[in-house]
Amino acid sequence: MEGIYAFCVGLMTACGIFLTLRGRTFSVVVGLTLLSYAVNLFLFASGRLKLDAAAVLGVSEDYGDPLPQALVLTAIVIGFAMTAFAVILAMRARADLGNDHVDGRIPQTKEEVRQKSGGQR
């Protein structure tokens, strides 16, 4: 169980980091969302993975750690609010700046640069 779990969290983090490093705001927002999902799963696992272990007293013989669950709940709420804010900000930037690039302008490709310098000559 631990192996699959760790692999999934790792994969999700890797995808999140990859998408966050992209140039368009949409993929950046998706990347941040994936990162926050991965972090929630990771926090949940920090209380160790156990089967049949309730976090409530008197329900089972083996207890799970309740604190990571409380932490995850807080992290989910905060992550949710932040994602909503990032989406609105991305839309506002699209309206204000006229494009959806994170730098507010679309970088020139090599060919465009070459064409421009060729034209000047």
Partner 1 sequence: MQHLSILPILLPLFTGALLLLPPFSKTLKRQRILSIISALLQVLVGFALVLSVQADGITQYILGNWRPPFGIVLVTDPMSSIMVAVTNFLAFSALCYATGSHDKAGGYFYPLFMFQVMGINGAFLTGDVFNLFVFFEVLLIASYALLVHGGGKQKTQATIHYVVLNLAGSSVFLFGLGILYGTLGTLNIADMAQKVSELDGSVAILAKIGALMLLAVFGLKSAMLPLHFWLPKTYSSASAPVAAIFAVMTKVGIYSILRIHGVVFGDEAGELANIAQSWIWPLALLTITIGTIGALASPSLKLLTANLVVLSAGTLLVCTAIQSEAATSAALYYMIHSTLVAGGMFLLADMISRQRGKAEDRFVVAKKMDNPVFLGIFFAIAAIAVIGMPPFSGFIGKVMVLQSVQSAAEQIWVWPILLLSSLGALIALSRAGTTLFWRHSSGKQTEATQPIHLGEWLGVVLLLSASPLLALFAGPLSELANDAAAFLHDPRLSVEALLTSPLAEGGF
Residues that bind partner 1 (CB under 8 A): 16, 20, 25, 28, 32, 35-36, 38-39, 42-43, 45-48, 67-68, 71, 74-75, 78, 81-82, 85-86, 89-90, 92-93, 96-97, 102-104
Give dist(CA 49, CA 2) in Å, integer.
7
Instruction: Specify whether the CB–CB gap between 10 and 54 falls below 8 A.
Output: no
In angstroms, give the least distance from the CB of 5 to partner 1. Answer: 13
State the Rg of the chain over Cα: 22
Closer to partner 1 by Cβ: residue 77 or 116: 77
In angstroms, give the least distance from the CB of 43 to partner 1. Answer: 5
In angstroms, give the least distance from the CB of 30 to partner 1. Answer: 12
Closer to partner 1 by Cβ: residue 62 or 111: 62
Can you spell out the DSSP letters for 59-81? T-SSBPPHHHHHHHHHHHHHHHH
- Residue 95 tokens read as 């309206």
Give dist(CA 95, CA 60) in Å, integer.
55
Closer to partner 1 by Cβ: residue 38 or 64: 38
